[in-house]
């Protein structure tokens, strides 16, 4: 009786995906409690973030993919316009111009772009009657470069990188030829030394520090050094929940946001890390399956891009914390504290669920 009542409500929710997400977030809340110095305030604020994000996900999941496809161009245009307004009248905080004050609320248009850019590209390729040609890819690349450049100028390297990768996944999945990919890789490889020789000493130094932060232990490298000590000292089984010395003492910076994985790794050790990787892998596999089963070009390209962008997030963040990737400001999805990124992440999961659960209707109709 009860299940019959609630079933229509959850009709468009993918049960496997939501289970993985909820479990991972539950783990995240425990880590956040520890990382925030056992602050219930932080945790309850994050619970509110999660509730808002789940609501957004539920609403998006109930939208038909066809409608998503139709609104892709206007959303993209709006996103670009908002990015331009940010560049012109945005609020500056922490030296970057990212927020747009609408009077009643502040929005961060680069977050909109994280979904709008792949939607636009998927729409673009779905519109091509024939197999896409090189010039289509060229045009698609321009659609991608415009918002990326605007985001980079803010400057927000992390988001720019992720929007780029989400667009690149679409290009790749739409069938960008291997020759072109190889050619591109070779060209970049060949141009790098030339580009390098054109740089000033101080510019080279900056890039060197970005790649290898330990060269600047007084500045950028401090984060990485402390994070690797936290991770390494966690060992195989970890120091136990709330017992991470590096995290509890004030050694780890930004430990509730970008560097929260160091806290997790210190307290739960290598076993915990592997379990978390498995959880992320399950989410990714489910996403890839949804993409593989999707019925329209638009929905399969978008589902593939959303899933792989989620992967990119996790890889870039964990790679950065464990010292194998440069430090760019990217949070760990589902775990890091933060509202805006949580909402846009769950909107993308909502899209995945919409694609998966509206499928049969399309087939029968």
- Contacts with another protein by CB under 8 A lie at 129-131, 169, 172-173, 175, 206, 216-220, 222, 225-226, 228-236, 245-246, 251, 265, 269-270, 273-274, 277, 280-281, 284-285, 288, 291-292, 297, 300, 304, 308, 311, 315, 318-319, 322-324
Nearer to another protein, 82 or 123 (CB): 123
Residue 177 Cβ, how far from another protein at the closest point, in Å? 11
* Both structure tokens of 329: 């400001």
Nearer to another protein, 226 or 336 (CB): 226
Nearer to another protein, 322 or 340 (CB): 322
Residue 93 Cβ, how far from another protein at the closest point, in Å? 15
Distance CA 56, CA 51 (A): 9
* DSSP bridge partners of 96: 93
Phi, psi of 91 (to 5 degrees): -80, 140
DSSP, residue by residue, 242-291? T--HHHHTTTSTTTTTTTHHHHHHHHHHHHHHHHHHHHHHHHHHHHHHHH
Longest dimension (CA), the chain: 72
User: Taking a C-beta distance cutoff of 8 angstroms, is the pair 352, 310 a contact?
Assistant: no
Nearer to another protein, 111 or 156 (CB): 156
Residue 231 Cβ, how far from another protein at the closest point, in Å? 5
Residue 299 Cβ, how far from another protein at the closest point, in Å? 11
Nearer to another protein, 54 or 280 (CB): 280
Distance CA 19, CA 25 (A): 10
If we measure between CA atoms, which residue out of 207, 313, 208, 209 comes closest to residue 261?
313
Nearer to another protein, 64 or 228 (CB): 228
Residue 143 Cβ, how far from another protein at the closest point, in Å? 20
Residue 288 Cβ, how far from another protein at the closest point, in Å? 6
């Amino acid at each position: 009786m009860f299940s019959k009542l609630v079933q229509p409500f959850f009709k468009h929710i993918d049960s496997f995906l939501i289970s993985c997400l909820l479990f991972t977030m539950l783990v995240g809340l425990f880590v956040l409690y520890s990382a925030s110095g056992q602050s219930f305030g932080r945790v309850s604020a994050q619970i509110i973030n999660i509730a808002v994000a789940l609501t957004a996900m539920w609403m998006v999941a109930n939208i038909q993919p066809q409608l998503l496809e139709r609104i892709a161009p206007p959303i993209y245009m709006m996103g670009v316009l908002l990015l331009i307004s940010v560049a012109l009248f945005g609020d500056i905080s922490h030296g970057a111009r990212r927020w747009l004050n609408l009077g009643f609320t502040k929005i961060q248009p680069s977050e909109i772009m994280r979904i709008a850019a792949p939607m636009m590209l998927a729409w673009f390729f779905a519109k091509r009657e024939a197999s896409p040609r090189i010039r289509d890819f060229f045009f698609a690349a321009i659609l991608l470069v415009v918002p990326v450049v605007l985001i980079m100028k803010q400057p927000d390297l992390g988001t720019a990188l992720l929007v780029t990768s989400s667009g690149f996944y679409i290009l790749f999945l739409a069938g960008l030829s291997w020759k072109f990919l190889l050619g591109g890789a070779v060209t970049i490889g060949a141009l790098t030394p030339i580009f390098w020789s054109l740089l000033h000493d101080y510019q080279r130094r900056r890039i060197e520090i970005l790649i290898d932060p330990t060269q600047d232990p007084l500045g950028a490298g401090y984060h990485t050094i402390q994070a690797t000590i936290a991770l390494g000292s966690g060992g195989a089984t970890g120091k136990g929940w709330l017992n991470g010395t590096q995290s509890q003492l004030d050694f780890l910076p930004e430990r509730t946001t970008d560097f929260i994985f160091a806290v997790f790794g210190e307290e739960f050790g290598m076993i915990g890390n592997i379990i978390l990787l498995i959880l992320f892998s399950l989410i990714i596999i489910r996403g890839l399956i949804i993409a593989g089963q999707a019925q329209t070009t638009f929905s399969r390209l978008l589902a593939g891009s959303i899933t792989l962008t989620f992967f990119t997030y996790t890889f870039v963040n964990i790679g950065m914390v464990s010292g194998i990737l440069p430090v760019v400001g990217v949070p760990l999805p589902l775990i890091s504290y933060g509202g805006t990124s949580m909402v846009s992440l769950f909107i993308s999961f909502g899209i995945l669920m919409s694609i998966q659960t509206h499928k049969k209707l399309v087939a029968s109709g």
